[in-house]
C-alpha cells in the first residue's frame, strides 16, 4: 500500500477555483474574478447569462483594485461603510497620501463620462465615510484626497481605467477642530 498522500483534483473547474480564490466563495464571484483580469476582453454574457448591473459594478471594482495595486498604490480596504451612513469603495495609500476612491463603471460612453455620475449627494456620502475612517484612526495629521476611478467596459475590448486624482475636496467647515 502506498503511504503517499493522494492529491485529487476536483471534478469541475469551479470547485477547484473556489478552493484557490479567497474572498470569492460564490460561483458568481469567482466568475467575476476570472473576468476582472485587465488582460482579458470584456464579455457581458457569462456562462450563457447576461451580467446584471450589480455584477458589472463589482467587476469594475475588482479591475480598479488591480489597477491601483499594479500602479503603486496599496489597497487598505474595500467597500467601507461608516457609522454615519458614509461609504467609500476603496481606501488606498498612494505614497504618503491616504486616498478615498469612488469607482464608477460604465459599459458605454454614450451618456457621458462615469465621473459625471458623482454628484454632490454622492460626494457627501463619500466624505462622511472618509471622516469616519479618519475618526477610527484618531484624526491623524496625514494628507488625504478623494479620487474617482472610471472603468469603461466595452464589449470585445480591454477594460479602460482612468483615475481622476483629487476629484473633489472636503468643505472647509468640516476640517474645523483638526
pLDDT digits (tens, 9 = 90+) for 124-138: 999 999 999 999 988
- Of the ranges 84-88, 93-97, 165-169, which one carries the lowest mean pLDDT score? 84-88
Grid-cell match 485587465, residue found: 38
The grid coordinates listed for 158 are: 480591454
Q: Write down the mean pLDDT value for the chain.
A: 79
Beta-strand relationship, 97-106 and 143-152: parallel
Spatial distance between the Cα atoms of 119 and 116, rounded to a whole number of angstroms: 7
Q: Where are the domains of the chain?
A: 13-170
Tell me the sheet residues that pair with 93: 74, 98
pLDDT > 70 fraction of the chain, expressed in percent and rounded: 71
Dump the DSSP string for 83-103: TTS-EEEEEEEETTEEEEEEE
pLDDT given at position 124: 93
CATH architecture under which domain 13-170 falls:
3-Layer(aba) Sandwich (3.40)
Question: Model confidence at 25, in pLDDT bands (50, 70, 90)?
Answer: very low
Helix (H) or strand (E) holding 33: helix 27-35
Question: Model confidence at 14, in pLDDT bands (50, 70, 90)?
Answer: very low
Across the range 49-73, mean pLDDT stands at 89
Cβ neighbours around 33 below 10 Å, total: 16
Report if pTM > 0.75.
Answer: no
Amino acid at each position: 500500500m502506498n503511504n503517499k498522500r493522494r492529491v485529487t483534483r476536483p471534478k469541475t473547474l469551479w470547485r477547484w477555483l473556489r478552493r484557490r480564490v479567497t474572498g470569492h466563495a460564490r460561483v458568481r464571484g469567482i466568475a467575476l474574478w476570472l473576468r476582472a483580469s485587465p488582460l482579458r476582453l470584456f464579455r457581458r454574457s457569462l456562462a450563457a447569462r447576461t451580467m446584471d448591473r450589480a455584477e458589472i459594478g463589482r467587476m469594475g471594482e475588482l479591475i480598479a483594485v488591480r489597477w491601483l495595486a499594479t500602479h503603486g498604490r496599496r489597497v487598505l480596504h474595500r467597500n467601507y461603510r461608516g457609522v454615519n451612513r458614509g461609504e467609500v469603495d476603496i481606501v488606498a495609500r498612494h505614497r504618503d497620501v491616504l486616498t478615498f476612491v469612488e469607482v464608477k463603471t460604465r459599459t458605454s460612453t454614450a451618456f457621458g463620462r462615469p465621473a459625471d455620475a458623482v454628484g454632490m449627494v454622492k460626494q457627501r456620502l463619500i466624505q462622511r465615510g472618509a471622516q469616519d475612517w479618519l475618526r477610527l484612526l484618531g484624526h491623524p495629521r496625514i494628507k488625504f484626497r478623494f479620487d474617482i476611478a472610471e472603468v469603461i467596459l466595452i464589449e470585445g475590448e480591454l477594460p479602460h481605467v482612468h483615475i481622476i486624482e483629487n476629484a473633489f475636496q472636503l468643505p472647509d467647515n468640516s476640517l474645523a477642530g483638526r
